[in-house]
Structure formats: structure tokens, C-alpha cells
Amino acid sequence: MSTRRGKRIDWREAALLAENMRAKAYAPYSGYRVGAVLVARKDSESQTELFIGANVENASYGLCVCAERNAVASAVLAGMTVFLGLVVATEGPTPAAPCGMCRQVLAEFATDMPIGLVVGGEIVDKTSLAQLLPRMFNGAALAEAQAKIAKQAKRASARKARS
């Protein structure tokens, strides 16, 4: 769900919205509620939009969905695939960064972006995707590996043809 449009990131607004989303999380098993706000835009546009998410737990823990991935799904469904920033709200007292799975999903769309960590509606720490996932695996890495494999196959085929 998109909440507003603009050209600049209002970090205070995003922090408060993430805190509001945290209150709506479905966390009957862990009690650990998380809210997220993703700032995104379409590739060809400068207007940004906010996309919200909250964690949704399931009795089968592997089926739980994090707040960050819910926000990513909302953005992608709206055609927004350029991610500019993320805010994650947790109860605290120590702020929590996105989990490894969420980091990898974010890396599909951005090699870096600022991430604000919220407790009590305030950003209490800032980090970035590149800091949290320094050697990310993304589409570029996959394309590079596929190109290398194709080149090796071509050389092997050429050697075989010469023999």
C-alpha cells in the first residue's frame, strides 16, 4: 500500500509510519512486532512513494513473513523497483536491522540504500544495505557467473572440435 508521493525522503514521517505499522503486526507466537516503510520509485520517475509492511507470523515458523519483505512486495506490485531507503521499527530497547533473508531480497533491487532503525517512533541508529550485506549476491553476480560458464563451455566445445 502506497501512502504518499514526494521527491524527498521525510525520515521523520517514515519513522512514525513504521512505528504505526509495528502496532499492526501479527505476532501471536513471538510477540516481536516489526513495522517497515520502504521508499521507492519507478525506474523512469523521480516521484517517490512510501510502502508499508508489518511482520505476519504463522504457526509454521518458516512461513512467517517479515515486515521488510511485505513492504518490498507492495512496492513491486505497484511497479516500483528502485529502492531509495528503508525504515524498520522494533520495540527495543536495542534497534534491530533487517534479517539476512530481507537483506538478500532488498539486494535484488538496490546495491545500497540508507536504513533507519526505529525504537519508539524515533530513528535511533542508521546503517546501509551495503554495510549490512557487504558481499551481496544479486542479479549482476548471477549474470557474471553465467557469462563465465558460457565462455568455458564455448572453449571446451572449440577444443573438442579441434580434436
Count of other CB atoms within 10 angstroms of residue 37: 30
CATH of the domain at 91: 3.40.140.10
**Are 139 and 123 within one domain?**
no
What does each C-alpha distance from 22 to 19, 35, 116, 118 come to in angstroms? Answer: 5, 4, 14, 10
Residue 13 known to be catalytic: no
Confidence check: pLDDT of 2 > 80: no
Taking the C-alpha atoms of residue 3 and residue 36, their distance in angstroms, rounded to an integer, is: 13
The pTM assigned to this predicted structure is 0.85
- Domain of 151? 135-163
Length of the chain: 163
Residues 98 and 152 grouped into a single domain: no
Question: Which run of H or of E encompasses 12?
Answer: helix 11-23
Query: What is the tens place of the pLDDT at every residue in 147-159?
Result: 889 888 888 888 8
User: Do residues 96 and 48 both lie within one domain?
Assistant: yes
155 and 84 both lie in a single domain: no
Quick one: which H or E segment has residue 39? strand 35-41
- Overall number of domains in the chain: 2
pLDDT per residue over 61-118, tens digit each? 999 999 999 999 999 999 999 999 999 999 999 999 999 999 999 999 999 999 999 9
Q: What DSSP letter does each residue of 54-104 carry, written as one string? A: E-B--SSGGG-B-HHHHHHHHHHHTT--EEEEEEEEE--SS--PPPHHHHH
Say if residue 19 is in the same domain as residue 45. Answer: yes
**CB contact at 8 A, 93 and 122:** no
Which among 68, 91, 108, 144 is annotated as catalytic? 68
- pLDDT at residue 114 in the model: 97
Statement to judge: residues 117 and 128 lie in one domain: yes
